[in-house]
Amino acid sequence: MSAWAKLLALGMGLGAASALAQRPTFTWDVPRVLETVDVPDIIRADGIPVKLRSVKSAEKPQVILQQLVDRFETAGFYIPPDEHRTQRLKEPQLTALDTERLISYTFFLQPNPDGTTSVLLGEANLAQARREQTAFAPLYAGAQELMQSEMEGARALSYTVEADPAKVSAFYVEELRTAGFTETEEGLWRRGTEELQIGVRPAAPGKVVVVILGRLRPEETQVPREKAPSPPKPKPAPATPP
């Protein structure tokens, strides 16, 4: 996953309860949809439950962008000004907030070589946020924009830091070896049933993005082999008469 930006939950007004009953539930309206893929499970990003859906459209990104912005404005959602937005990806994206229900709506647009557009739609229920646990993996000093999520027993952690990529990679080699992990292949570390995948890549000049995926592997059980039957013992030779 993508990564989801932290959102500031705005205060609800005194008349929010009555307005909530009147405001209809928001529905996405992507033009010229070719196919839709729903992610059945709810994931948690920074302790916030998020529902995802992927849509493929025959429309151009600019047209989809304008239509979804219009939908947000018609619904009366709060759209942060440009200087307050977190742009982690180069593809067009936007987040709006329903300040009454405390649900944020985010979309990402990805142009495809065949002229279609992939649209990732996300709904984050801020009202059901829970305090996230401590990071499950070590963090390089100065880590910023920390994000954690979990889904189907797997965990993901990402952050940015102003540092040299080689130094960050060396940090994880030392930390994980000290913790008893063994690198089984480049970037993949294991300790018993624990598995960590470490990714370090340059972002802006002087800054890197670190992505860590963690999961528990099932116990490797060995099926006992059936023993081959023992060969029959040779019969003793008859005794020679005197």
Question: In angstroms, rounded to a whole number, what is the distance separating the alpha carbons of residues 40 and 4?
Answer: 18
Q: How far is CA 159 from the centre of its chain?
A: 12
Give me the pLDDT at residue 17, please: 34
Summarised one tens digit per residue, pLDDT across range 154-170 is 788 889 999 999 999 99
Mean pLDDT of 89-109: 87
pLDDT top residue among 217 and 210: 210
Confirm if 118 and 54 have CB atoms less than 8 A apart.
Answer: yes
Please choose, from the candidates 153, 240, 158, 164, the residue with its C-alpha nearest in 3D space to the C-alpha of residue 195.
Answer: 153
Is residue 39 within a helix (H) or strand (E), and if so which, with residue range? none
As given in the structure block, the two tokens for residue 180 are 């008893």
**Using 50, 70 and 90 to split pLDDT, how confident is the model at 229?**
low
**Using 50, 70 and 90 to split pLDDT, how confident is the model at 106?**
very high
Question: In angstroms, rounded to a whole number, what is the distance separating the alpha carbons of residues 121 and 93?
Answer: 10
Mean pLDDT of the chain: 79
List Cβ neighbours of 231 (8 Å cut-off, separation of 6 or more). Answer: none
Mean pLDDT of 143-149: 83
Q: Over 90: is that where the pLDDT of 119 sits?
A: yes
Give me the pLDDT at residue 204, please: 79
pLDDT top residue among 135 and 207: 207
**Using 50, 70 and 90 to split pLDDT, how confident is the model at 86?**
low
Question: In angstroms, rounded to a whole number, what is the distance separating the alpha carbons of residues 92 and 114?
Answer: 18
In sequence order, the β-bridge partners of residue 122 are: 52, 106
Q: Over 50: is that where the pLDDT of 144 sits?
A: yes
* pLDDT above 70: percentage of residues in the chain: 74
**What domains can you pick out in the chain, each with its CATH number?**
20-128 (3.30.310), 144-216 (3.30.530.20)
**β-strand 117-125 against 144-151: which pairing, if any?**
unpaired
* 0.75 exceeded by pTM: no
